[in-house]
Structure 1
Amino acid sequence: MRGIRNMVLEILETAFIQRALVTGIAVAVICSAVGFFLVLRRHSLFGDALSHMAFGGIAVGLFTNIYPLWTAIVVSVLAALGMTKLRQSTKVPPDATVAVLLSSGLALGIVLVSISGGFSVDLFSFLFGSILLVSPDEVYIIIGLSAGIMAILLLLYRKFMYIAFDEEQAKVSGLQVSKLNYLFIVLASITVIASIRLVGILLISSLIVIPNITAMLFGKGFRKTAIISGAIAVSSVIAGILISYAANIATGGTIVLVLVMIFLAALVAKKAERTKRLAGIKAEA
């Protein structure tokens, strides 16, 4: 036990691990917060679509020699706003617009990669995550973006909740639903970009969705569910980073596997609780 504790303390004293943990916790918090509203709106796949648009944006950046995260933000935000406008002005179903967004981003990225001569090391790091390689400048950028997103979500929490439950009623009550939807889409897009370094483009939706559906299994109120989701996301990120470093395996995949294990454990516990309750009812009868 003492050997494990000493190993953990030694790992935590490493500068790049400290940067990874700080940025990982910040990303985990905003992903669970944004994902909470996406799951309530039944837009769980929206994060996946945004991540594929981010792939296209990153490919644009690598192709034009511009910092890829900036081009990814621009492409993702514009695409997300366009998709929201399409959904509001036409009768195209939400899942169909998500499919269009997803395939468009992936196609754009593949075409640019083929033109530039194939996959590079930089592109692979964006696809699969490289949180242990986060630079000090990226730490400040990610923390700043995370703080801004959380501040807006906390300020407009009740309005976003109202829209998530009944968008039509929110319009009748006088809320500027269209503007709030556009704002939320921008926040979700930036959240996806900020998360790329942690779990990579291919696994971002897992960090957005799994903590929330796991928290919802506990059947608590909405505020408690949001808190539980954040706790699950943060603990999974911390455990995933430490395990991946100690075992020398991929960080993004390790974090998602920890999330999945927590989800499965919650399912088993929920089923055991239901079985116990039914046994108690039968005994009383």
Structure 2
Amino acid sequence: MERGILAGVIIGIIAPLVGSFLLVRRISVVTESISHITLTGISAGVFLGTLGPLFQNMNPMYLGVVFALIGALITERLREMYRHFQELAVPIILSTGIGMSAIFISLARTGYNEWYSYLFGSIVSVTVSDVQFIMITAIFVLFIIVLFYKEFVLTSFDQEFAQVSGISMKFVNFIFALLIAMVISMSMKVVGILLVGALVVIPVAASIQVSKSFKQLIFFSIIFAQISILFGLYFSYQFNIATGGMIVLISILVLLLVLLLKRLMR
């Protein structure tokens, strides 16, 4: 329980932080496609573990990180190729991820419990190595954001001016793709692969209703995410239901409450 809460709090800071940049870039839906490619890596790792002792001690999460990064880079490449139809990149990657995951899952022939925590999250399944992985990933993401904060903001709000200023869009997009992959990988054990996109997007969607600047957007996004995660973890533990589903449900309730309060204030 303590490991789950610690992991949840860390994720509640990093996920909406990256989600704020995704919202400004208008590519929030990219998280859905990358999360399904991450599931492909997880299922491939589980399948390899059934082949023999050589891969039995391998954590499938690490293979998921590799697939998430590959998926993020391919998504960015497809968006460049289909410059006038960039939304095509999402269904291409998403359907590929689902199809390959189905194949690996059927080949692995493991039990239901093997996939439940990966798909929908589980507070009691968070191990010490998972917490260590989440903490290291969070430090890395924060370091990258602080280091390239000006470049991220500039390329998010005005790409033409950023290019004129000498900023390499390809390099910045590569770094950003790496961040998306890391955030999805670190969040999947608590929220679940199928629901991690909601944690990246919904708190930011609530925050934009009350924010007057980009920094306020980040601040309120983190606050709303922490509320969703802490209450979601509590209720999922009390009622023994899927952690990710409860977190997303609380996120939706927070969003609806913010919309209602804003309407009443008008």
If the TM-score is normalised by the length of the shorter chain, which range does it land in? over 0.9
- Structure 2 gaps of 5+ residues are 50-57
In the TM superposition, what is the alpha-carbon distance from 1:190 to its structure 2 partner? 1.0
Cα distance in structure 2, aligned partners of 1:69 and 1:214: 30
Letter in 2 for 1:33: L
2:41 matches 1:57: yes
Q: Does structure 2 retain, via aligned residues, the 8 Å contact 1:113–1:119?
A: no
Match of 1:267? 259
Kept in 2, the 8 Å contact 1:129–1:201? The answer is yes
Residue type at the aligned position of 2:43: A
Q: Are positions 1:223 and 2:218 aligned together?
A: no
Amino acid corresponding to residue 19 of structure 1 in structure 2: R
* 1:252-276 deviation line (CA, Å, top 9, x unaligned): 11111111111000000111112xx
Q: Distance in 2 between matches of 1:116 and 1:249?
A: 25
Show the counterpart of 2:228. 236
The alignment partner of 1:197 has SS state of: coil
The residue type paired with residue 186 of structure 1 is: L
- Counterparts of 1:146-185 in structure 2, within 5 Å, are 146-185=138-177
The range that moved more, 81-90 or 191-200, is 81-90
**2:140 partner SS:** helix
DSSP-derived class of the 1:40 partner: helix
Shift of residue 70, structure 1, vs aligned partner: 0.9
Q: CA deviation at 1:154?
A: 2.1
The percent identity for this pair of structures is 31
1:93-108 alignment runs, 5 A limit: 93-108=85-100
* Equivalent pair of 2:78/2:86 in contact (CA under 8 Å): no
Corresponding letter in the other structure for 2:202: I
Q: Deviations over 1:66-90 (max 9, x none)?
A: 4211111111111211221232245
Q: Which amino acid aligns with 2:115?
A: L
CA contact (8 A) 1:86 1:92 kept: no
Once the two structures are TM-superposed, the CA of residue 119 in structure 1 deviates from its matched residue by 5.5
1:110 Cα deviation after fit: 0.6
Q: Deviations over 1:96-132 (max 9, x none)?
A: 0111111111110011122233654222220111122
C-alpha separation in 1, matches of 2:224 and 2:181 = 22
Between Structure 1 and Structure 2, the one with more helix by share is 1
Q: Could you tell me whether the CA contact under 8 Å between 2:11 and 2:186 is conserved in 1?
A: yes
Gapped runs of 5+ residues in structure 1? 1-16, 275-285
Any conservation in 1 of the 2:117–2:125 contact (CA below 8 Å)?
Answer: no
In structure 1, the residue matched to 2:27 is 43
Counterpart CA distance in 2 for 1:160 and 1:135 is 33
TM-score normalised by structure 2 residue count: 0.93
Distance 1:131 1:270 in 2: 33
Choose the corresponding residue for 1:196, options 174, 188, 194: 188
Distance 1:113 1:148, change over 3 A: same
> What is the CA RMSD across the aligned residues, in angstroms?
1.4
Partner of 1:129: 121
Amino acid at match of 1:23: A
Q: Which has the larger radius of gyration?
A: 1
Does the 8 Å CA contact 1:217/1:266 hold for their aligned counterparts?
A: yes
Letter in 2 for 1:32: P
Counterpart in the other structure of 1:279: none
Shift of 1:232: 0.8
Pair 1:78-2:78 in alignment: no
Question: Which is further off, 55-64 or 85-94?
Answer: 85-94
